[in-house]
Amino acid sequence: MFLALREFRHAKLRYLLIGFIMVLIAWLVLFVTGLAQGLSSDNASSIQNMKADYLVLQEESDHRINRSVLTDELWNEVRSHPGGSDAAQLGVHMSTLTQEGSSTKFDAAFFAIDMESFLAPKVVEGSRISNTDAGVVMADSSLKDDGYRLGDRIVDQASGTSFEIAAFTEGQSFSHAPVIHMNFEGWKSLQPGSSKHGAIYNAIALNGSTEQMEALVSDIPGIELITKKEALQGIPGFQEEQGSLIMMIVFLFVIAAFVLAVFFYVITIQKMNQFGVLKAIGAGTGYLARNLILQVLSLTLVSLAISIGLTYGVSYLLAGVVPFSLTPSVVLLCSLLFLAVSLLGSLLSLYRVIKIDAIEAIGRAA
Amino acid sequence: MTQSKLLLDQVSKEFGDGDTSVKVLDHISLDIKSGEFVAVVGPSGSGKSTFLSIAGALLSPSKGRIWMYDQEITKLSAKKMNQLRLSHIGFIFQSSNLIPYLTVRDQLLLMAKLAGQHGQEPKQRADDLLHRLGLSHRKSHYPESLSGGERQRVAIARAWMSDPELILADEPTASLDSERGRTVVQMLADEVKLRQKAAVMVTHDQRMLDLCDRIVYIEDGKLSEQPRPIQL
Cα–Cα distance measured from residue B49 to residue B46, given in angstroms and rounded to the nearest whole number: 8
**Closest Cα in chain A, distance from residue B205 (Å):** 15
**Do residues B200 and B51 make contact, with C-beta atoms less than 8 angstroms apart?**
no
Specify the pLDDT at position A196. 57
pLDDT at A192: 65
Alpha-carbon distance values, B178 to A340, B172, B173, B189, B206 (Å): 54, 12, 8, 16, 10
Q: Closest approach of chain A CAs to the CA of B49, in angstroms?
A: 6
- Residues A23 and A149 placed together within one structural domain of the fold: no
The answer, yes or no, to whether residue A339 has pLDDT greater than 50, is yes
pLDDT at B68: 84
Q: List, for residues B146-186, the tens digit of each pLDDT value.
A: 988 888 889 989 998 988 989 999 888 887 888 888 888 99
Instruction: Kindly state whether residue B231 falls inside one of the protein's structural domains.
Output: no
**What pLDDT is recorded for position B232?**
46
Name the amino acid, one letter, at A221: P
Pick the more confident residue, B230 or A102: A102
B232 in a domain, yes or no?
no
B58 close to B81: Cβ distance less than 8 angstroms? yes
Cβ neighbours of residue A209 under 8 Å, at least 6 residues apart? none
Nearest to B113 among A2, A363, A364 (CB): A2
A290 vs B: CB within 8 A = no
A233 part of a folded domain? no
Tally of domains in chain A:
2
Domain assignment present for residue A54? The answer is no
pLDDT tens digits for range B43-58: 887 888 888 888 888 8
**In sequence order, what are the residues at sequence separation of 6 or more whose Cβ sits closer than 8 angstroms to the Cβ of residue A244?**
none
Alpha-carbon separation of residue A219 from A205, A345, B1, B220 (angstroms)? 17, 54, 102, 93
Is residue A16 over pLDDT 90? yes
Using the Cβ of B158 and the Cβ atoms of chain A, whether some distance falls under 8 Å is answered with yes
Whether A149 is in a domain gets the answer: yes
Contact B53 A273 (CB under 8 A): no
Q: Do B95 and A365 touch (CB under 8 A)?
A: yes
d(CA A110, CA A92): 6
Verify that A31 and A95 share a domain, yes or no: no
Residue A366 confidence (pLDDT): 40
Separation of alpha carbons B3 and A305, rounded Å: 59
Range of the domain at B34: 4-16+23-226
Predicted TM-score of the model (pTM): 0.78
Residue B96 has pLDDT above 60, yes or no: no
Write the CA distances from B57 to A280, B49, B65, B77, integer angstroms: 9, 12, 12, 10
Cα distance from B85 to chain A (closest Cα, Å)? 5
pLDDT digits (tens, 9 = 90+) for A181-207: 999 888 888 876 655 556 778 899 988
Q: Look up the CATH number of the domain holding residue B94.
A: 3.40.50.300
| Confidence check: pLDDT of B229 > 70 | no
DSSP E strands, chain A: 54-58, 70-71, 87-99, 105-113, 123-126, 136-140, 153-156, 162-169, 173-174, 177-182, 200-201, 203-206, 223-227
Confidence of residue A30 (pLDDT cuts 50, 70, 90): very high
Residue A151 pLDDT exceeds 50: yes
Domain check: are A149 and A297 in the same one?
Answer: no
Instruction: Report yes or no on A227 lying in a domain.
Output: no
Instruction: Count other Cβ atoms within 10 Å, centred on residue A309.
Output: 12
Positive or negative CA dihedral for A104, A105, A109, A111? positive
Nearest to B49 among A282, A284, A362 (CB): A362
Domain boundary among A221, A253, A287: A221
Stretch 1-20 of chain A: residues touching chain B, C-beta under 8 Å: 2-3, 6-7, 9-11
Interface test with A, best of B114, B117, B145, B165 (most A CBs within 10 A): B114
Between CA A242 and CA A200 the distance in angstroms is: 31
| Rounded to 5°, angle at Cα A147 from A141 and A148 | 60
Contacts of A359 in chain B (CB under 8 A): 53, 58-59
HSE on the CB side for B186, CA within 13 Å? 10
Burial A323-350 (b: 16+ CB within 10 A, else e): bbbbeeeebeebbeebeebbbbbbeebb
Backbone angles phi, psi at A347, to 5 degrees: -60, -40
* Whole-number Cα distances in Å, A163 to A13, A168, A182: 65, 14, 9
**Does A13 score more than 60 pLDDT?**
yes
**Which of A221, A253, A279 is where one domain is finished?**
A221
Both A260 and A193 in one domain: the answer is no
Distance from the B24 Cα atom to the nearest Cα atom in chain A, whole angstroms: 15
Percent of chain A with pLDDT over 70: 97
In this structure, the answer to whether residues A8 and A86 fall within a common structural domain is no
Tell me if A52 is assigned to some domain.
no
Does B95 contact chain A (CB < 8 Å)?
yes
**DSSP β-ladder status, B198-202 and B166-170:** parallel
To the nearest whole number, what is the mean pLDDT of chain B? 86
Query: Reduced to 3 states, what is the DSSP secondary structure of residue A306?
Result: helix
Residue A232 lies in a domain: no
Do A193 and A88 sit in the same domain of this protein? yes
Of residues B53, B158, B162, nearest to A359 (C-beta): B53
Helix axes B104-114, B120-132, angle to 10 degrees: 130
Domain total for chain B? 1
d(CA B82, CA A5): 24
Minimal CA separation from B143 to chain A, in Å: 12
pLDDT at B124: 93
Mutate to test the interface with B, among A7, A271, A272, A281 (most CBs of B within 10 A): A281
Domain that includes residue A170, residue range? 60-221
Asked if the Cβ–Cβ distance from B142 to A10 is below 8 Å, we say yes
**To 10 degrees, what angle do helices A238-270 and A328-355 make?**
30
Order the strands of the B198-202 sheet from edge to edge: B89-92, B166-170, B198-202, B37-41, B214-219, B222-226
User: How many A/B residue pairs have CB atoms within 8 Å?
Assistant: 84
Least confident of A254-268, A326-340, B61-75: B61-75
* Residue at A89: amino acid letter: Q
Q: Is position A94 within any domain? A: yes
> What is the ipTM, given to two decimal places?
0.85
| Residues linked to residue A186 through DSSP beta bridges, in sequence order | none
Which sign does the torsion angle of CA A142, A145, A150, A151 carry? negative
User: Confidence band (pLDDT; 50, 70, 90) for B104?
Assistant: very high
Determine the average pLDDT of the residues in A3-22. Answer: 92
A10 vs B contacts (CB less than 8 Å): 100-102, 142
B104/B107 Cα distance (integer angstroms): 5
User: Binning pLDDT at 50, 70 and 90, where does residue B1 land?
Assistant: very low
B82 in contact with A at a CB cutoff of 8 Å?
yes
C-beta separation of B40 from B34 below 8 A = no
A169 assigned to some structural domain = yes
| Residue among B76, B95, B99, B203 with most chain A CBs within 10 A, to mutate | B99
B22 by Cβ neighbours in 10 Å (0-12 / 13-18 / 19+) ranks as exposed
Q: For an interface test with B, give the residue of A278, A362, A364 to mutate (most B CBs within 10 A).
A: A362
How far is the alpha carbon of A342 from chain B, nearest alpha carbon, in Å? 24
Judged by DSSP in three states, B22 sits in strand
Q: Residue B75 falls within a domain, yes or no?
A: yes
Whether residue A110 is found in the same domain as residue A78: yes
Q: What is the per-residue pLDDT for B79?
A: 84
Residue A365 has pLDDT above 50, yes or no: no
